[in-house]
Structure 1
Amino acid sequence: MKRNTKEAILLAALHLFADKGYDGVSVRDIAEAVGIRQSSLYKHYESKQDIFDHILIQMEVQYQQMTQEVRAPQGDMAAVASAYERITTEELKAIARGMFFYWTESDYASQFRKMLMIEQYKSEAKSRLYHEYLTEGPLKYMTELFRLLIERECFIQEDEAFLALEFYAPIFFLMNKYDSGAKRDVLITQLDQHIEHFADHYRKD
């Protein structure tokens, strides 16, 4: 086969998990979706759990690639805070748009997000993943970032956890509106307006 069979298996499994849930999908279902025999699939992955584990590995790789592509600040938190200290509102809007498109339009990331939204109610382990990727994880990261930016006097004195929630909650809401079929251009306009409003209200000149 010309395509990478290992990657094709992961993507097919991810689509099925997002549609039917992890427990509703068999290894045979995945093999049929890829167009290979079940025995051939086992040459690449030992089990359905092995496939899921490799989906997580691939997700980490793709997420890191995305952050580089949208030019999000890299490094430890001190380096990230230093970069955001100098960033313009227009640059911040571009980063936010890039991440929004990634979670809503990237085939891999959007299906991963939908899968976790389903699985959070069925599995304690997958619920932890959901919160790590989409709720508590981002909020924890942003809370620490805003703490450093407040210390550097880039932002007004405010509770850093509140700022993290104030920044992230509308973005999370807009992603869910995207899933329900809201118009893309309207959502992007609202995203830009949110970033501008947040910067105007909390960022020091």
Structure 2
Amino acid sequence: MASTKEKITATALALFAQRGYDGVSVRDICKQVGIKESSLYYHFPSKQAILTTLLSHFENRAAEGMAQLEQALGDQQGPWGQVSYRMVCQAFFEGYLMDPFCNQVLRLLQMEQFHNPDLGEIYERWMFRVPLAFQGRMFTALVDLGLLHPATGEDLAVAFYGPIHLFAQRWLFRGPLSEEGKEAFRQAAYRHVQRFFQERGTDAWHPS
């Protein structure tokens, strides 16, 4: 059973992701959780402290996920195969973009980037800069192994990630995150990934 502190953070995140940070009051959070404001202040000194806790948890999770992908990339001793392609895509799609917690934080950051430069920087880092940098290194490795036609890793990363970001905005960040939206995203994203590799000279990707 979730603790009161966990209920507060989960409720606050759900409300922040729907209304934005400024659109939610401490009273709103307490009403949803079913507690008095004094109970909330026992766990958190302010609404800002709740946000700080959520962002810290998000950045830790995102960093851990990227570290696992970096390790997998570094551990590759031979040509990348079907399992590696699948692992990268599944980890990013299922464990990040479609993860309920990460999805809600990214929704919040997407809204708040226009009002708060610090949150805009976090959004830029984890939605664009870090994923593109990793993908650039991954594609550079594949080109060096002769598994993709010669091109810069940065150019390949943009070509790879652009449609994925479009599909995510269409199906994962508009309205509530739903099973129908996730399935629509999966179909479009994995079809794009298959076509991406096929058009660039490798048939190593064979989604089932």
Taking structure 1 as the reference length, what is the TM-score of the superposition? 0.80
Matched residues in 2 for 1:124 and 1:15: separation?
22
Contact 1:21 1:119 (C-alpha < 8 Å) held by counterparts: yes
Instruction: Provide the aligned length of Structure 1 versus Structure 2.
Output: 198
Match of 1:122 among 112, 115, 126: 115
SS in 2 for 1:155: coil
User: For residues 163 and 148 of structure 1, what CA distance do their matches in structure 2 show?
Assistant: 12
2:158 pairs with 1:165: yes
Does the aligned pair in 1 maintain the 2:171–2:184 contact within 8 Å?
no
Q: CA deviation at 1:22?
A: 0.8
Pairing 1:89–2:114 present: no
Q: What letter matches 1:146 in structure 2?
A: F
Name the SS of the counterpart of 1:132 in structure 2: helix
Unaligned runs of 5+ in 1: none
Counterpart selection for 1:138 from 116, 121, 131: 131
Give deviations 1:67-99, integer Å, cap 9, x for gaps.
79xxx6353xxx524439644235523542443
Residue 194 of structure 2, aligned match among 186, 193, 196:
196
Q: Which residue of 1 aligns with 2:3?
A: 4
Pick aligned residue for 1:147 from 140, 147, 162? 140
Cα deviation 1:121-169 (Å, max 9, x = unaligned): 1111111111111122211222233334434444332111111111111
In 2: Cα distance, 1:119 partner to 1:129 partner: 10
Which blocks of at least 5 consecutive residues in structure 2 are unaligned? none
Query: Secondary structure at the residue paired with 1:135?
Result: helix
Shift of 1:61: 4.3
RMSD value, Cα: 2.8
Q: Which moved more, 1:103-112 or 1:90-99?
A: 90-99
Amino acid of the residue matched to residue 6 of structure 1?
A: K
Contact 2:13 2:105 in 1 (8 A): yes
Aligned to 1:55: 54
TM, length-normalised to structure 2 = 0.79
Alignment of 1:72-87 (within 5 A): 73-75=69-71, 80-83=73-76, 86-87=79-80
- Percentage of matched positions with identical amino acids: 27
Hey, what does 2:24 align to over in structure 1?
A: 25
SS in 2 for 1:73: helix
| Stretch moving more, 86-95 or 109-118 | 86-95
